[in-house]
Structure 1
């Protein structure tokens, strides 16, 4: 069932929940909790900032890498274009060479190929006799192809420079991204350390408050027992004075402790079932197997070992009491017993139930955001007793 937590438990759980949105370094527990909490919050905010910077740096790195890939693609295309132009020049030279050969056999010569084949100025000068025989059209075609090749080679050189610059940008951005990533890792570690310390400090504070509350409850219990004994003695004296000794007066009912020391015989195996659910979420009215509310966890655990009990903390309390198994003293509880809390200590307003596992501890479905956890039975007030429902 959905329930209200005691002030101590609720405060501890609330402060614990804030840890999921904070972070900080090693500090002494003497530091006030609120100051430590603020440092946790500041560290978490810094972690968020660094994480955002890392996302931006990673995006920029992807961009410069894409730009580099584009330049490299252009270089490959230019190289292919140059090879194509080289093939065109070779093909043109072959055609002209055939024409020269044919002209020579006919008494003339097309000397365009001779001009193109000149290795130096002297060689070219020696062949000038044939140069005037090269057709103007052939000369223009070859000149155009050579011009195209020169432009492509210039473009290739420019792209090579651009590629080098782009590689530098990639290297710089990789370094920047690695630096930011390192900052994120360090801040995450810093935050985690503070998170752990804050949890430890809160646990110590909760344990101290629990011990104080347990002492207060024990003193209150002793006071109530003394008052009950005094009332019984007064009633017996009144009956004796009235001459009615056959039937002693009924002692005033104390819901939290009827004097019983036998909590029943709860199956120990139910503890293993309940503990196996630790870490699962709290969901109102859920009874497993993936989520639970308080009475849903206890009814599920008993069902797994062959016992059906109602899915209601009040009904489970009434069942334990009807069996005559209700005890108040924690020392009288056995593993597998149900333990209950009532609003203002009232047994008619049961709002929470857990399952005792021994050693003063119990497992229970705590609240949304906390889920199924193990806790100390001494941490908090409004405890009204426990016992076996079977």
Structure 2
């Protein structure tokens, strides 16, 4: 079991006040808070080894390069990639998805099909729409039910020899649904399709084993797992990364350049053009270390208890409806209160120091499905407490009374 007071002491922002009230931070689905060890690691990099990497023979460059590649190795071990060069540093999940869609522009042809799910974040919809417009491929959508679960029977029907890639999130950011991705990966491979998993909402809660899953691509962002903003990872199987063309041209990603012809560097540098976010890449490794020290079994147990308690307490509020009641779900509760716009609730509880997310959560098709403008989303992390949930429930009841 976690020593929750000790854990919370690791996060300096949690001790501050917002609008004169102790901060209750329930917007972890958007970004997580950062422990002191991560904050210190950023400062340490700039104070001690700030330099460009891979190109310099001087000491600082070598120290920075070593730290960057050690971090890549940490992430390789964390997700159980077969090779370190299958781990690409990106600026986040969106960057990773766009890198893959750019590569598939050279593979898809008119009439090919791309499968996305009805549960996707906009960043896993729009790039595929753009790809289909460019190539003449057809975008197909795996439907969902009213519990917020994908309908696997319909997924099975959509798969065919025309399917070239399936793209689905591991966990829904808007509803918290945990998708049956192992089943979907295996079924996609049966028809010869590749599959990309958007793990942005999954990696804060669990350790993905990309070899066991057998996915072709897995993407996530560092800022949701206690790491810096502007960091992320694209895992890709070696064979796929060798097949795809570079996403960007520039320094670092080349082997030889002449005005007649350029040859590209080997993996992973082929996809890492320009000066990267060196500090962010190094400190992402620090954040991964911290999460593993806390322990993902501990994280899952704490968040399971918060989800169950939060669901129970919120359902005590008259007129409150939860959207997303999947059997397999993580610590996200999306809800509305009858007759009140979610934005109004969010604004009032903010005045009481409570940070929740309101709106469509970059998942407008989900809101259209439920015929609602958006929801109030409380997303819990392992450093949250049941006492904070009680504070939120009291604040929502107060807001409801004010707005009724």
> What range describes the TM-score normalised by the shorter chain of this pair?
under 0.3
Tell me which protein shows more strand as a share of its residues: 2
TM-score for the superposition, normalised by structure 1:
0.23
Larger-gyration structure (1/2): 1
